[in-house]
Structure 1
């Protein structure tokens, strides 16, 4: 999921600032995250869910024959949707149904969305931006694709 945050920052910072800020990127290792985005690797209990948060659907009764269905890391999207690698854009109910379809026989505990989330430290990221670029801008929001 961290690659999604890097892509978003590339779009916001532009090539030159992004390359200067993140000269060496290591993917597939939550322990080697750049200090500017380290928080996306550390889920914490939160009172609110924000767009762009990284969450997790846990499947505690996963079938040992399908360990890849033990859970799904997701990014929170608008309209009560979530994006997960491999599963795509789905509602919470659809995520849970997919995970529940891969539990061991006789399982009693449903998959669930955990209340611990991770999000970037926006104050740290803001400090990277040059001051002349720190003026408010009009955002052009486009709709997300419909859930499949």
Structure 2
């Protein structure tokens, strides 16, 4: 169920939405969970960002970027410095937007594990939603490493999953010889499939089956999808585009 301020609900039919955005909207309208929005613009912004995240997931899948452990990670060192722990730190003089876009343009030069892939997809979705000037302001000095991310990329738990959210498949009996297969992070796509870096675009059943091939010898404990759902704080992300950014311990209005 979607709750909007008085007079705003009637404007839902006026929104110019893609098929993906319309699908998400209808699912939220039919949900037993209550979703409150401060304005029709806040709702529209969430739908647009979710759509951008979905497109970013598909684009990363098509980019040629490979799966690798932290030990074997690689990046385009013209734009990023590879850290000893396998993370990537943006080089001085390179804008955050340039760094993120290069991963999608020159994926062949990159290899990283699945948590880093999820953060990259979320950054790209935000970049395409708030624009390059705002993105460069808020996300300076980027570090891509595991689930470490800039404080302005607000990721929060959710109770229901919609396209653009991150879910987790756990492999309880993973083979200790290949700990990278202890689980798989995945972006939910509109058709019910998932983008899982290193596996591609798969159904949930296919992800589980692949994880099951990486269990301890003799194990009969199946991998499974957990109840964990991570989503962007869309209302906060919208403020990055329209109002205030935090830089260090001070607060600035973007463009001042």
Range into which the TM-score falls when normalised by the shorter chain = 0.7 to 0.9
Structure 1: tracts of 5 or more residues without a match? 132-148
From 194, 204, 215, the equivalent of 1:92 is 204
Aligned to 2:224: 112
Q: 2:163 aligned with 1:51, yes or no?
A: yes
Indicate the SS of the match to 2:155.
Answer: helix
CA contact (8 A) 2:166 2:186 kept: yes
Aligned to 1:5: 122
CA contact (8 A) 2:165 2:231 kept: yes
> Displacement of 1:30 after TM fit?
2.7
CA contact (8 A) 2:131 2:241 kept: no
Q: 2:153 aligned with 1:37, yes or no?
A: yes
Give the number of the structure whose residues are more often helix, by fraction. Answer: 2
CA contact (8 A) 2:166 2:230 kept: yes
Q: Larger RCO: Structure 1 or Structure 2 (Cα < 8 Å, ≥ 6 residues apart)?
A: 1
Larger C-alpha radius of gyration, 1 or 2? 2
Separation (CA, whole Å) in 2 of partners of 1:84 and 1:63: 19
Structure 2: tracts of 5 or more residues without a match? 1-117, 244-256
Aligned to 1:136: none
TM-score (norm 1): 0.78
Aligned to 1:60: 172
Q: How does 1:16-27 map to 2 (within 5 A)?
A: 16-27=133-144
RMSD over aligned Cα, in angstroms? 1.7
Aligned to 2:51: none
Separation (CA, whole Å) in 1 of partners of 2:173 and 2:241: 45
Indicate the SS of the match to 1:80.
Answer: coil
> Displacement of 1:29 after TM fit?
4.5
- Where has structure 1 moved over 3 Å in runs of 4 or more? none
CA contact (8 A) 2:212 2:223 kept: yes
CA contact (8 A) 1:60 1:109 kept: yes
Q: How does 1:67-146 map to 2 (within 5 A)?
A: 67-130=179-242
> Displacement of 1:66 after TM fit?
2.2
> Displacement of 1:108 after TM fit?
2.0
- Distance change >3 Å, CA 54–CA 23, structure 1 → 2: same
